Amino acid sequence: MALLRLDVADVRNIESASLSPGEGLNLLFGANGSGKTSLLEAIYLLSRGKSFRSSQPHRIIRFDQPFLTVAGRIGQPGGGTTVGLRLGRNAKEVRVGGRHCDSSAHLIRLFPAVLTQPASVALLDGPPRLRRQMLDWGVFHVEQEYLDLLRRFSRALDQRNTALRTDASRSNLEAWSGEVARWGTMIAEARSAYVERIRGQFAKISSALLGPLDAELVVRQGWRTGWSYAEALAASVAMDRRRGYTEPGPHKGDFTVLIGGRPAKDFFSRGQLKLLTYALLLAQACRLEEDQPGRACLLVDDIASELDPRNQEKLLSLLKSTGIQSFITFSGNDLGWVTAGHTARMFHVEHGRILADE
Least Cβ distance, residue 305 to ligand ATP (angstroms):
9
Residue 201 interacts with ligand ATP (CB under 6 A): yes or no: no
CA 342/CA 318 separation, integer angstroms: 11
Least Cβ distance, residue 232 to ligand ATP (angstroms):
45
220 or 353: CB nearest ligand ATP: 353
192 is in an annotated binding site: no
69 is in an annotated binding site: no
62 or 345: CB nearest ligand ATP: 62
**The only residue of 2, 4, 12, 273 in contact with ligand ATP, by rule CB under 6 A:** 12
340 is in an annotated binding site: no
Residue 63 interacts with ligand ATP (CB under 6 A): yes or no: yes
Length of the chain: 358
30 is in an annotated binding site: yes
31 is in an annotated binding site: yes
Least Cβ distance, residue 177 to ligand ATP (angstroms):
47
22 or 30: CB nearest ligand ATP: 30
33 is in an annotated binding site: yes
Distance, first Cα to last Cα, the chain: 23
Pick the piece of the chain touching ligand ATP (CB under 6 A) from 26-34, 42-50, 76-84, 150-158: 26-34
Site size toward ligand ATP (CB under 6 A) is 14
- What part of residues 263-302 is at the interface with ligand ATP (CB under 6 A)? none
CA nearest neighbour of 220 among 239, 261, 242, 192: 192
CA 348/CA 37 separation, integer angstroms: 12
34 or 201: CB nearest ligand ATP: 34
Residue 33 interacts with ligand ATP (CB under 6 A): yes or no: yes
CA 302/CA 349 separation, integer angstroms: 14
Site string for ligand ATP, 298-337 (x = CB under 6 A): ---------------------------------x------
Residue 34 interacts with ligand ATP (CB under 6 A): yes or no: yes
CA 262/CA 265 separation, integer angstroms: 9
Pick the piece of the chain touching ligand ATP (CB under 6 A) from 59-67, 114-122, 165-173, 269-277: 59-67
Tell me the binding residues. 30-37
Residues marked as binding for ATP? 30-37
Give the footprint of ligand ATP on this chain (CB under 6 A). Answer: 12-13, 30, 32-38, 59, 62-63, 331
